[in-house]
Amino acid sequence: MTKTAWVFPGQGSQKIGMGIDLLDLPAAKAKFKQAKEILGWSITEICETQKEKLSQTLYTQPCLYVVESLLADEMFAHSFQPDIVAGHSLGEYVALYVAGVFDFETGLRLIKKRAELMNNATDGQMAALMGFDQKQLEYELQKTENVVLANDNNSAQVVISGRPEAVETLLNNIKVKRAVKLNVSGAFHSHLMESASIEFKKVLESVEFADAKFPIISNFEPIATIDAATIKKRLTQQMTNGVRWRETSLEMQKEEVEKVIEIGPGKVLTGIIKRTCPDFKLANVNSLKDIKAQVKS
C-alpha cells in the first residue's frame, strides 16, 4: 500500500465558505454546536459571511482547527487513515487531534487560549520572501537584531518575523524576487512571543497527552515520534521557534512517504512540499467533494 502523510495548513490558508458544506453531516453539526459553546461564537457564521473577522487571529485559529478536524473526521469515516501526520504552525494541533494525542474539545480549548495570547502579542511584523540568496539571508539574519527566520518552507520561500523596524532593515539589505508583509497581529514564531509562550506552557502542562496513533513530525524538531512526552515538550517550544517545514518534507521522504494529502483550505502546503520533494504524489482535501474524489481515485 502507498505510504501516506496527512498535513494540515495554518493561519493564512483560511477562506470564506470553508467548512460550510460539512453542515449537512450530523456529526459535524454536533461539533459545530460544541465549538460554539466553548468559544461563545459561531464558527459557521464567521466562515460563511464575516471575512474581516476570519482574518483576525482570535477567530482564524479556532475556525481552521474546527474545519480541518472535521474534514479529517470525514476522511476517517470513508476508511482513509494516514501513516504519518504533520501540521504547519496551528495545523500541528489538528495533526495531534487526528493522531489521538488529545480529543477535539481539549484541542479547541488549547487553540482558543493560544489564539487569545497570540492576538494580544502586538508590535511585530512578518514577511514572506520568495526568491533570495540563502547565504545572504543567513548573513543578514545574523547581523540584524530582533528579526528571525520564522518559517523555513522550502529553498525558495521563507518567512521572517520580528520588530517592524528590524524586518524593514533586513528587507532593505537583501535582494529578493518578491517580499510580502503578512497581515498578522504579532511576530509569531519569534522571541517576541516569549511572554505569550510562558503563559501557554502553563496551560499545556495541565493537559494530559497520549502517545500518538500515528507518528507526528513536529515544527520545532522535525523527527517523527509517537511518544507523548516528546510531543508535548516539542509543542511547548513551537510559539517562539521557527516552523522547519523544509525539514518536515525531507523527514517524510526519509520515512518513505509516497503520497501527501493536505487537509484544509487552499493548496499552500502541497505547493511548498513539491519543491522539496518533487516525486511525492500530492492531493488536496478542501471539502466533501474532494473526499468523494479520493474515494474514486
Distance CA 270, CA 274 (A): 6
Residue 191 among the catalytic residues: no
Cβ atoms of 137 and 158 closer than 8 Å: yes
Nearest to 35 by CA among 87, 98, 109, 102: 109
Query: What contacts 77, CB < 8 A, 6 or more positions away?
Result: 27
Cell (9 digits) for 48: 460563511
In terms of C-beta distances under 8 Å and separation of at least 24 residues, what long-range contacts does 75-80 make, across chains too? 75/6, 75/261, 75/263, 75/285, 75/291, 75/294, 77/27, 78/291, 78/294, 78/295, 80/294
Strands (E), 102-231: 125-132, 147-154, 157-162, 176-181, 216-217
Catalytic option among 89, 161, 197, 287: 89
Q: Which of 13, 88, 189, 249 is catalytic?
A: 189
Would you tell me how many other CB atoms lie within 10 Å of the CB of residue 256?
9
Question: Is residue 78 among the annotated active site residues?
Answer: no
How far does Cα 133 stand from its chain's mean position?
26
Q: Among all residues, which ones are annotated catalytic? A: 89, 189
